[in-house]
Structure 1
């Protein structure tokens, strides 16, 4: 299939839509990103790659990294992990304190901020050098050298008031085991990773391949864990817009406030879209529109 031509056709269709939303304003470094950037990359299990627009330009993947930290923690701890974090859609904002207090410090899922902080705490407990070992894990999946952005990590730290409240609340319930500052520092860094669309789609290809890295053939997680991670992405990958994204796009995926979205079609491909303008729910406005048209035009939803 001529994906490059399909990408161009869909982009020409969506660029006529009046611009809505804006870049993330609450993280100072992200507020500086050019809102007009747009890139798409698709990598399939045959090794074919298709790109469009700014697909080779690096951007901050933000919450998309939470899938990778979950994968690492899940492989280390197995089912024990679910004693500390749930698998249900949140139905509230990704940084809700109210829900967390009501549920006694157990986050609804690993992709809201509280859940990702618990996963970060688990990795701080399990790894000797969390930042290095996590980045090594990501590079193993990506097959290129990606890195943290010190500027983005520092920018997130400078305005981490709600995240600080979340982690302190969970600490009071006994669901954070390590030093809060160490966990927060690790969390800021994992969210600051920068990738291109091509690198991001390559990184997530293992979830289209039953947990096996398509290039190295190394088992990252077993088939059961891969299925469950994809299920959590389907149910919880888009903050409190997960239901609408599933309804319109029909693929498991994860978004980040850097404007990136990655989706997976099991046994076929992974795909990344980047457009920095966010809608009211914190998901890429044009990225979501693009994926909706993509899965509709060529019938590539999993449903």
Structure 2
């Protein structure tokens, strides 16, 4: 799947979800660079989407694509005759690059992060890096929704109602906008090249949860809405958050943060996850809560102790240093914010600009 603006295509748009469009797009990526530079550029881009998780290359697949790519060569020559390639582009080089892109490997884990990046508006949920613009994500999801599943795309849009992209490896990349990304893999394919079990999973998912684009959230009562919190959710969240902080489980805390949990939740003693991790001396957890989650370091428990006080009490000097530096940063930011609020505002053209 190539992510590129359709406005840069010659003459008229080509569908990047099918071979012909993907081959043309291969000739448009960094047109004045050699194949090695082009491939490195795409690999780096894909790795950013995957949060630097595993993205590899299969040389065996690349050689197989070249040896059995007669149809793609025929498509390439036909498009060359119709002048579909930009001026100066070499059709054979574009095909070779296309075969390289077809040989990129991902795992279900890294593929799901790529899907989550699309679901998150182009921001990788693992690294927080803006990889794609919101407009590019919208265009990509529109293409995936309308033609990402080969000849099954219409039925997929009707029955599942979510953007997806399938591959002949048996993988299906499913995007639930503003919720999550899914990557499932099961090699048995149907007659149009889609994973049989993968499609069944997508249908079952939408039958249970109201993820279909046209499910009515108000009146579709027989479906569950995981985005709507239950009454006991807060107690469960507090327990899970505190236990993860006590155990030093950064992975669990990262999952909670990605699911929009309030990382400043307090227990019955008004203690936060930062209190717990500071008392236990879990420096990685403290850094994650301060650097990534930006929690409040000035919350007092019912005895009037700050997180830094707990770290000092139990002799965790490294944690004390991190918390004091973070407190200083928070004070500076608060001072700057206060000064900005009280600064005089001049109703002039210059101030507006």
Calculate the TM-score normalised by the size of structure 1: 0.65
Q: Shift in Å at residue 299 of structure 1?
A: 2.2
1:136 is matched with 44
Work out whether residues 159 and 203 of structure 2, in 8 Å CA contact, stay in contact via their aligned partners in 1. yes
1:60-82 per-position Cα deviation (integer Å, ceiling 9, x unaligned): xxxxxx1xx2x2x33xxxx5324
2:210 is matched with 299
1:16 is matched with none
1:146-194 per-position Cα deviation (integer Å, ceiling 9, x unaligned): 1110000111111111100101111111112422221111111111111
Kindly report the root-mean-square deviation, in angstroms, between the aligned alpha carbons of the 2 structures: 1.6
Q: Shift in Å at residue 115 of structure 1?
A: 0.4
Structure 2 residue 173 is matched with structure 1 residue 265:
no
Work out whether residues 124 and 183 of structure 1, in 8 Å CA contact, stay in contact via their aligned partners in 2. no
SS at match of 1:138: helix
Q: Shift in Å at residue 221 of structure 1?
A: 2.4
In 1, the alpha carbon distance for the partners of 2:130 and 2:68 equals: 38
1:81 is matched with 8
Work out whether residues 54 and 110 of structure 2, in 8 Å CA contact, stay in contact via their aligned partners in 1. no
Structure 2 residue 78 is matched with structure 1 residue 172:
no
In 1, the alpha carbon distance for the partners of 2:119 and 2:169 equals: 23
Calculate the TM-score normalised by the size of structure 2: 0.56
Work out which of the residue numbers 152, 160, 168 in structure 1 matches 2:61: 152
Unpaired runs of at least 5, structure 1: 1-65, 87-106
2:109 is matched with 198
The answer to which of 168-177 and 210-219 deviates more is 210-219
Q: Shift in Å at residue 224 of structure 1?
A: 2.0
1:110-149 per-position Cα deviation (integer Å, ceiling 9, x unaligned): 1110000011111151555111111111112211241110
1:63 is matched with none
The change in CA–CA distance for 1:279 and 1:84 in structure 2 (over 3 A counts) is: farther
Q: Which has the higher contact order (CA 8 A, sep 6+)?
A: 1
Work out whether residues 84 and 118 of structure 1, in 8 Å CA contact, stay in contact via their aligned partners in 2. no
The change in CA–CA distance for 1:126 and 1:242 in structure 2 (over 3 A counts) is: farther
Unpaired runs of at least 5, structure 2: 215-353
The change in CA–CA distance for 1:250 and 1:123 in structure 2 (over 3 A counts) is: same
1:217 is matched with 128
Paired residues in the alignment total: 209
In 2, the alpha carbon distance for the partners of 1:127 and 1:226 equals: 25
Work out whether residues 265 and 302 of structure 1, in 8 Å CA contact, stay in contact via their aligned partners in 2. no
In 1, the alpha carbon distance for the partners of 2:141 and 2:27 equals: 22
Structure 2 residue 132 is matched with structure 1 residue 226:
no
The change in CA–CA distance for 1:200 and 1:171 in structure 2 (over 3 A counts) is: same
1:251 is matched with 162
The answer to which of 214-223 and 164-173 deviates more is 214-223
SS at match of 1:272: strand
1:115 is matched with 21
Q: Shift in Å at residue 227 of structure 1?
A: 1.1
Work out whether residues 172 and 185 of structure 2, in 8 Å CA contact, stay in contact via their aligned partners in 1. yes
The change in CA–CA distance for 1:124 and 1:185 in structure 2 (over 3 A counts) is: farther
Work out whether residues 142 and 163 of structure 2, in 8 Å CA contact, stay in contact via their aligned partners in 1. yes
The change in CA–CA distance for 1:137 and 1:245 in structure 2 (over 3 A counts) is: same
SS at match of 2:175: strand
